[in-house]
A = this chain, B = another copy of it.
Amino acid sequence: MGEKVIYLDNAAATKLDEAVFEEMKSCFFEKYAVATSEFGYSQGIEAREILLKARTDLAACLGADPEEMVFTSGNAESGNLALKGVAGALGEKKGKHIIVSKIEDFPVLHSAKTLEKQGFKVDYLDVDEFGFIDMGQLEKRIGADTILVSVQHANQEIGTVQDIEKIGKLCRERDVLFHTDATHTFTRIPIDVNRVNADLVTISAHTIHGPKGIGGLYVRKGTPLMKLMDGGFQEFDHRGGIENIPGAVGFAKAARLVTPEENLYLQAMQKRITELVFERIPLVTLNGHPEKRIPQNANITFHHVEGESITLHLDMYGIAVSTGSACFSRSLEASHVMMAIGGDHERAHGSIRFSFGRFNSMEEVGFVVEKLEKIIENLRRISPLGKRGGN
The interface of chain A, by Cβ under 8 A from chain B, is 5, 7, 9-11, 14-16, 18, 21, 25, 28-29, 32-34, 36-44, 73-77, 79-80, 106-107, 110-111, 113-114, 206, 211-214, 226-233, 240-247, 308, 311-312, 314-315, 319-323, 326-332
Contact between chains at B230 and A37 (CB < 8 Å)? no
Q: In the bound complex, what is the Cα–Cα distance between A21 and B22 (angstroms)?
A: 12
Name 5 extra pairs, CB < 8 A, besides A80-B231, A213-B244.
Answer: A7-B33, A9-B41, A76-B229, A79-B230, A228-B228
Contact between chains at A240 and B110 (CB < 8 Å)? yes
Within the complex, the shortest CB–CB distance from A22 to chain B, in Å, comes to 11
Can you give 27 A-B contacts (C-beta < 8 A)? Answer: A5-B43, A11-B43, A14-B34, A14-B242, A16-B246, A38-B330, A39-B308, A39-B323, A41-B311, A41-B319, A41-B321, A73-B73, A74-B242, A75-B241, A76-B230, A76-B240, A80-B231, A106-B232, A107-B230, A107-B231, A110-B231, A113-B230, A206-B242, A232-B327, A232-B330, A233-B330, A233-B331
Q: In the bound complex, what is the Cα–Cα distance between A28 and B77 (angstroms)?
A: 22
Q: In the bound complex, what is the Cα–Cα distance between A323 and B34 (angstroms)?
A: 13
Contact between chains at A230 and B80 (CB < 8 Å)? yes
Interface centre among A5, A308, A321, A330 (most CB of B within 10 A): A330
Chain B residues, CB < 8 A from A32? 11, 14-16
Tallying the copies of this chain within the complex gives: 2
A9-B34, A73-B73, A111-B230 given as contacts; is B28 within 8 A of A16 (CB)?
yes
Q: In the bound complex, what is the Cα–Cα distance between A32 and B240 (angstroms)?
A: 28
Chain B residues, CB < 8 A from A326? 34, 36-37
Name the CB-closest residue of B to A245. B212
Q: In the bound complex, what is the Cα–Cα distance between A165 and B79 (angstroms)?
A: 38
Q: In the bound complex, what is the Cα–Cα distance between A229 and B229 (angstroms)?
A: 10
Instruction: Tell me which of B18, B44, B107, B329 contacts A240 (CB under 8 A).
Output: B107
Q: In the bound complex, what is the Cα–Cα distance between A37 and B325 (angstroms)?
A: 10
Q: In the bound complex, what is the Cα–Cα distance between A314 and B43 (angstroms)?
A: 12
Chain B residues, CB < 8 A from A227? 114
Within the complex, the shortest CB–CB distance from A336 to chain B, in Å, comes to 12
Within the complex, the shortest CB–CB distance from A361 to chain B, in Å, comes to 18
